[in-house]
Structure 1
Amino acid sequence: MGKFEIKTDKSGQFRFNLKANNGQVILSSEGYTTKAACENGIESVRKNSQEDGRFDRKTAKDGSPYFNLKASNGQVIGNSEMYSSTAAMENGIASVKTNAPDAGVDDNS
């Protein structure tokens, strides 16, 4: 089963990563000023990850596919790594859908 990991970055902001059961990061958050806001972001990922329309599939300037997960208000709540192919990106989206709803939280902040 996947897990969310909360950490504090160099500027003191809280961030989370969603990791698959193999330990690979499949979604990363923006920086939050409070831990409570970061925890709300995790809840938003759990909820919004179940709606395919919330995944904004993109292509980087170098042609690498990636995705953003958006909340119902359109705000980006997480982004993926760059993938080598569209199929790999779709597998990443499937992994977020599978792992996010029941993922535990490790607070490393």
Structure 2
Amino acid sequence: MSPTTLWVFTLEARPLPDSPDFDVAGGAFVVCYVTPSMADDPVQHAAAYVRAQDWQAIAVEDEPERVERDDAPDPDHFDQALADGEVYVFHQWPIEDSAESETRH
């Protein structure tokens, strides 16, 4: 039997105006763990989840790769995705005040 793998990748996202995070978060990197059986297109599936949280995926930061547990960024998140089918971890950063900032929305 082959080892269990998940799609693991990172999206960049920004909060939408309806998001409770809109006034405090400039954006986030969203680490996505998706079981292959959840979707034919894991990026599209993850972007739909992110949108349902009132965030907008704006870029694929790290392309999807099939990853075994030992190679996952976080084994606990990997295990949770095996149980639930998917896990999304938002690593937010604050809104920057400078005019040159790319994190203003």
- State if a TM-score over 0.5 links the two structures: no
Structure-2-length-normalised TM-score: 0.29
Higher strand share: 2
Larger radius of gyration: 2
